[in-house]
Each structure stands twice: as structure tokens, then as C-alpha cells.
Amino acid sequence: MQVTEKIDNIELKIRQLAQKMDRLNEENNTLKAENERLKTDLDKQKGAVQTLKNKLDKTQGMLDTQHVSKSADSEQLKKQLDQYIKEIDKCIEWLSNNP
């Protein structure tokens, strides 16, 4: 091989390497842009998840409060019914003893 052929061969390889480097730089820039977009989307999703968690906690608190309130109301109603039953039993006993 002559020196000019070797130089031409080296020049060809340098051009090929430069083209490959350009493609890799474009791909790298594309991937960087996609990475930033995905980070932004992830931040939005994290915000949405946090908002939903807060709403869930608030709703759960309200449901717990309602449950306690309903339990208290149920207990009050049960006591009142027990009292009525006792009064009815007394009336039945009085009627049975007084013909």
C-alpha cells in the first residue's frame, strides 16, 4: 500500500467516525429531551398522587367521624328502644295482674 492510499484510508475512517459521532450526539440530545419530559411527567404524577392521598385522608377522616356519630346515634336509639321494651313489659305485667 502506498502512503497516499493509507492517508485516503485514514481520511475515510475519520469521516465515518465523525458521522457516527454526529449520529450519537443527535441520539444523545433526543434522549436528554425525552428524559426531561419524563421527569416533568413524573413530577406531575407525583403531585396528582399526593393530591389524591390528601383527598383520601380527608374523606377517610370524614367517614370515621360519621361512623362515630352514627355509632353514638345507634347506641342512643338502642337505649331508647330498651327503655320502651321495659315499659311495655311493665304494662303487660300490670295488665296480667289486674284483670
What's the one-letter identity of residue 38? Answer: L
pLDDT band at 7 (very low <50, low <70, confident <90, very high): very high
Q: Which three cell numbers stand for residue 8?
A: 485516503
Q: Locate 20 and state its grid cell.
A: 457516527
Q: Which three cell numbers stand for residue 78?
A: 338502642
d(CA 12, CA 57): 67
| Grid cell of 65 as nine digits | 367521624
Q: What does the pLDDT look like over 24-77, one tens digit per residue?
A: 999 999 999 999 999 999 999 999 999 999 998 888 888 888 776 777 778 888
Q: What is the mean pLDDT of residues 12-23?
A: 97
Q: Specify the pLDDT at position 99.
A: 60
Q: Give the integer Cα–Cα distance in Å for 92 and 90.
A: 5
Domain locations in the chain as residue ranges: 1-73
pLDDT in the model for residue 89: 85
| Prediction pTM value | 0.54
| Phi, psi of 98, rounded to the nearest 5 degrees | -120, 90
